[in-house]
Amino acid sequence: MKTSGNVSKQNPGAVRHIVLLPGDGIGPEVIASARQVLEACAVRFAIPLAFTEAAIGGAAYDACGSPLPQDTVVKCCAADAVLMGAVGGPAWDKLERGLRPESALLGIRQAMGVYCNLRPAIIYPQLAAASPLRADVAAKGMNLLICRELTGGIYFGDRGRESVVLPDGQAVVSAWDTERYNTAEIRRIALWAFQSAQARQRHLTLVDKANVLESSRLWRETVTNLAADFPEVQVDFLYVDNAAMQLLRRPFDFDVLLTSNMFGDILSDEAAEISGSIGLLPSASLGAADRPGLYEPIHGSAPDIAGQGKANPLATILSAALLLRYSLNLPEAAAAVETACQAVLTAGYRCEDLRDTGASLPVIPVGTQGMTEAVLSFLK
């Protein structure tokens, strides 16, 4: 499996520089948790880590008038890896598009060139009761990896608005966004998907809308051509509407799902919900091998529970595990964090998002810090 980051060029004892982007809402709380876990790994595995914080999102807008200050971009691009909390909230919802926290997120993804967004979604057996799926379906499990294209497509395509007068004399406003991909953009993310599939269950599903969209037909052609180089990987194709349905019917049948930017955004929330809680899903966003990766939980800033110490930090802690694996090339440390997260779930620790599942197991109710300490205790 490829790794990403500046580390490969350094000697193994060198300090690894991690930029933390706490952001908004529950972002600062979950980042503080993940930092404690990374610091514990630094001790246990004798890896010198240095942390720098930088501003992003609404917090950055409030501090300096821009949701993505240039200083943040410079720091992130010079780091070995970047760990982000979440951005956004009602306070900034009415700002014009370019000043909204979400545009900072798209901006940092683009500036860092992280075109490959990996979103693993798992039904942990300990949490099968938390899945909204029928018990017999959830019992068969789910362990899939969404490979989402992250720096192209409709998120970044030409867009605009104009006032037009219709032939009947009616004055209306028209708006458009454009889905545009070239074969190089498709090929590089598809390569990640094929290589990931090869290291997993060797099954790749391209999700598209090739019955309607020309861009989807280009995805199919490109993936079909690439498939010749990966004869061990079984490739199939699903229209996105059907994929949304099949994920609910037979989540256990999927291995790697390859998607465009928007389809991956939508299906990863669905997969998160199937896994039991969006508070569990990490993500890694990767680009060229010598550039830093960007790691973030897939959940949002959850303004309704921000500042209350309730947020589930596991998605961010698991994102830190991906950071250890992909950017710092420390698979052992990554596996230790993942094993500790599994162990806390097995032991019954639950933040609020995972209680009330109807399961009969006794639960140890915890908040953000309690969950963090439980993970730390299993990590030692």
Catalytic sites, residue numbers: 155, 209, 241, 265, 269
Q: How far apart are CA 26 and CA 301, in angstroms?
A: 5
Of 326-355, binders to Mg ion (CB under 5 A) are none
Please select the residue that binds Mg ion; options are 24, 179, 265, 353, rule is CB under 5 A. Answer: 265
User: Beta partners for 20?
Assistant: 53, 83
Judged by beta carbon distances under 5 to 8 A according to partner kind, the member of Mg ion, ligand IPM, none in contact with residue 105 is ligand IPM
Contact in structure between 149 and 260 (CB atoms under 8 Å): yes
Residue of 41, 280, 298, 330 that binds ligand IPM (CB under 6 A): 298
Q: Are strands 349-350 and 159-165 parallel, antiparallel or unpaired?
A: unpaired
Q: Note whether 296 binds Mg ion by CB under 5 A.
A: no
Cβ 264 to Mg ion shortest distance, Å: 9
For ligand IPM (CB under 6 A), the number of binding residues is 4
Whose CA is closest to 260, among 220, 300, 229? 220
Instruction: Please return the burial class of 15, using the count of CB atoms within 10 Å of its CB with bins 0-12, 13-18 and 19+.
Output: exposed
Distance from C-alpha of 43 to C-alpha of 34, rounded to nearest angstrom: 14
Nearer to ligand IPM, 57 or 292 (CB): 57
Residue 102, contacted partner among Mg ion, ligand IPM, none, CB below 5-8 A by kind: ligand IPM
Tell which one of 34, 38, 105, 127 touches ligand IPM (CB under 6 A): 105
To ligand IPM, the closest distance from the beta carbon of 211 in angstroms equals 24
Q: How many residues bind Mg ion (CB under 5 A)?
A: 1
CB of 119 to ligand IPM, least distance (A): 8
Residue 24: which of Mg ion, ligand IPM, none does it interact with, CB under 5 to 8 A by kind? none
Shortest reach from residue 131's CB to ligand IPM, in Å = 20
CA proximity to 319, closest of 334, 339, 300, 329? 334
The residues, any chain, with a CB within 8 Å of residue 259's CB and separated by 6 or more, are 146, 147, 148, 149, 206, 207, 208, 240, 267
Q: Cβ 259 to ligand IPM, closest distance in Å?
A: 12
149 binds Mg ion (CB under 5 A): no
Rounded Cα distance between 145 and 257, Å, is: 6
User: What are the CA-CA distances from residue 134 to residues 120, 144, 190 (Å)?
Assistant: 21, 18, 32
Residue span binding Mg ion (CB under 5 A) among the ranges 90-98, 160-168, 260-268, 281-289: 260-268
Burial class (CB in 10 A: 0-12, 13-18, 19+), 129: middle
CA 55, CA 47: separation in Å to the nearest integer? 25
For ligand IPM, give the closer residue by CB, 6 or 117: 117
Cβ neighbours for 251, distance < 8 A, ≥ 6 positions apart: 123, 133, 137, 140, 141, 142, 144, 271, 274
Q: Give CA angle at 192 (204, 31), nearest 5°.
A: 110
- Between 265 and 353, name the residue whose CB sits nearer to ligand IPM: 265
Q: Which does 273 bind (CB under 5 to 8 A by kind): ligand IPM, Mg ion, none?
A: none
- Our finding on whether 118 is near ligand IPM (CB under 6 A) is no
Contact flag: residue 102 with ligand IPM (CB under 6 A): yes
Query: Pattern 121-140, binding to ligand IPM, x per CB under 6 A?
Result: --------------------
User: Binding to ligand IPM by residue 265, rule CB under 6 A?
Assistant: yes
Give the other-Cβ count within 10 Å of 377's Cβ: 13
Least distance between ligand IPM and beta carbon 263 (Å): 11
Q: State the residues that interact with ligand IPM by CB under 6 A.
A: 102, 105, 265, 298
